[in-house]
Amino acid sequence: MQDKETLTPEDWELLNQIRQGYLVQKAYSSWKSERHLELYDQFFGKRIADKWSTVLELLKTSPAWDSFVEWSGQENLHIRDWGCGTARASRELLKFFAKENIANPKFFLDDIDKRAVAWSQKSILQTFGAETLIEKKDFDHEKSMLLVSHVINELDSISKAKLVSGARLSPWLIWIENGTKDTSKALGEVRDQLKGTHQIVAPCAGSGACPALKQKKHWCHFFADRSQEYFTESVWADFAEKLSIDLRSIPYSFLIMKSKKLDAFESDQRPTVIGRPRIYKGYASTLVCNESTELQDLRIEKKSNKELYKKMKKGNFELKL
């Protein structure tokens, strides 16, 4: 791959085409070449990777973590990366499993674009080895986790219904999308469709209907931790300027669910902070989703809760209060 600091005018034009495709069509138009995939993965894929690493770290703080570790330790664990693209979800999960000393699972990379599958398989083989990948014929739904990443805007109603039906078969589901209002609400609808068969691990405190679906002003979204290279590599400044992308934040929406056929866990009843707190002189105001699955504005007084106010002001607050 070419050095990040020496992108050609053709590279920037291709990146702009990718960007415009998502802005206008809400989807990629099709991968034109390996270079197309490389550039997407280097820039847009990196921001997706930040979302996945943030969500996987949040999973460690959930009450379902011990259950997840135990289930993930089974022999021949299979993971289906649905609509894999450049397989950033799979690669981040592999890195996460290695860091947490969880045995490597076997991945089935699933995408209608065979060029993307071939590119992703090669990328995973180079880093993690051939034993990481399996073919569709060897995939076992009963021992599987379903990964879904940044596809919901590309699905028509029939495709979405098929994906949700497939999700009902999976013991575990991790689904991450961008943080726009429309996308978040679409993912909230999926959550409500699956809560009959699956227990909600995150981000919700409650198990009722998603309250954000009836809201015009609010939606369920969060902000990922940003990689340090955005601030240390000049190519990212060029990327932000040329493509009009704000690198100061990475908004996302997500869903982690576990089949009710597995052992239940005690849900985390702490309120979930939605979006970002609003900081005022002497207090902070934040929207939370509480254990009754209701949205409420919560006011944090500086004089009575200095540490939490300070964290919120610095942006270091946690997802759960």
> Which stretches in the chain have pLDDT values below 70?
1-5, 25-29, 316, 321
Check residue 23 and give its pLDDT. 77
* Count of other CB atoms within 10 angstroms of residue 78: 19
Check residue 25 and give its pLDDT. 62
Check residue 198 and give its pLDDT. 95
The separation between the first and the last C-alpha atoms of the chain, rounded to the nearest angstrom, is 43
Check residue 31 and give its pLDDT. 85
Check residue 28 and give its pLDDT. 58
* Domain residue ranges in the chain: 9-259, 272-314
Check residue 24 and give its pLDDT. 73
Burial 186-223 (b: 16+ CB within 10 A, else e): bbbebbebbbeebbbbbbbbbeeebbbeeeeebbbbbb
Check residue 80 and give its pLDDT. 94
Check residue 294 and give its pLDDT. 87
Cα–Cα distance between 301 and 249 in angstroms, integer?
26
Fold of the domain built from segment(s) 9-259? Rossmann fold (3.40.50)
Check residue 217 and give its pLDDT. 87
SS3 of 16-83: the string is HHHHHHHHHHCCCCCCCCHHHHHHHHHCHHHHHHHHHHHHHHHHHCCCCHHHHHHHHCCCCCEEEEEC
User: What is the model's pTM?
Assistant: 0.93
Asked if 207 contacts 195 with a C-beta cutoff of 8 angstroms, the reply is yes
